[in-house]
Amino acid sequence: MKVISYNLNKHRAAGELVSLVEQHEADILCLQECDSRDIPDRIGGLRLAEATQRNRLGLAVYYRENTFRAEDVRAIGLKKSLHDYVLKPAEERMLGVRLRDIDHGRDVIVASFHAAPLTALNSLRRHQIRTALSELQDLGPGLPALMVGDYNYPVFKENLGQKIRDQGYELTLSDARTYTRYRFFKGHYDFATSVGFDIAHIRTLPQGLSDHLPILVTAEVTTPQPGRTA
């Protein structure tokens, strides 16, 4: 399964999506900072599962409809930062989709996530991540789950990784930094947390119009579901 995650930087990079999906043969596309009023129902052979509606800068998830079928979706708000209260960019910071793999007859969960910006404390972002991962399991307890997006967590990721492992998930970074706008804040912002997946690799793709670089996650389900084989 190939998953692309991309923060569009206030929708500026929306015009790049068809080319990205087709060039890398993506099965899933997870977006952050998209304008839900200005996104199509289909992008490069992928179908829109859901987009957040209460966000000024929203989330969206697309899937390849000849491979998957959307079974359920959940958008949730997370603990707010001062930035959220003042500028109100996002009421919902996690959008999860339960997908049925048509060929293999199994379900997986994929989510797009956007943490609070750097003006917030790391402790608040950890709270957001912890809550988002817990909420995903309500879409299907025990199912393989993959949450990708903009975690806004450029430093102290070792501590974050341990907190995530304590929750039963793994944190995986891409092969190169994903944010380059500010000299002192360059680093890995966009990555993945997962359970029940073998992450073969995460590749940082070339930069486009966004201040974030898209990432390409290649993953395979490793956890059999009850009564099924993976």
Find the CATH number of the domain harbouring 190: 3.60.10.10
Average pLDDT over residues 8-27: 97
- Domain extent at residue 161: 2-221
Residue 183 lies in a domain: yes
Is residue 229 over pLDDT 80?
A: no
The tokens 């900072």 sit on which residue? 33
**Within 110-215, where are the H helices?**
122-136, 157-166
Is this model's pTM higher than 0.95 or not? no
Give CA–CA dist 146/132, Å, rounded: 11
| pLDDT of 184 | 57
Give the tens place of pLDDT for each residue, 24-66.
Answer: 999 999 999 999 889 999 999 999 999 998 877 899 999 999 9
Dihedral of the CA atoms 185, 190, 194, 198 (nearest 10)? -110
103 located within any domain? yes
C-alpha pair distances (Å), 84 with each of 53, 61, 87, 191: 16, 22, 6, 22
- Residue 169 resides in a domain: yes
pLDDT in tens, 153-207: 877 788 899 999 999 999 999 999 999 876 556 788 999 999 999 999 999 999 9
Domain assignment present for residue 110? The answer is yes
Domain count for the chain: 1
**227 found inside a domain:** no
Residue 228, C-beta contacts closer than 8 angstroms, at least 6 positions apart: 105, 106
Instruction: Determine, yes or no, domain membership for 229.
Output: no
User: By the 8 A CB rule, do 89 and 77 touch?
Assistant: no
Please indicate, yes or no, if residue 8 is contained in any of the structural domains: yes
Of the candidates 24, 32, 30, the one whose C-alpha atom is nearest the C-alpha of residue 7 is 32
pLDDT value at residue 157: 80
> Is residue 139 domain-resident?
yes
Q: Which of 20-24, 78-82, 161-165 has the highest mean pLDDT?
A: 20-24
CA distance 171 to 148: 10
Confidence tier at 106 by pLDDT (50, 70, 90): very high
**C-alpha span between 209 and 32 (Å, rounded):** 14
Higher pLDDT, 192 or 229: 192
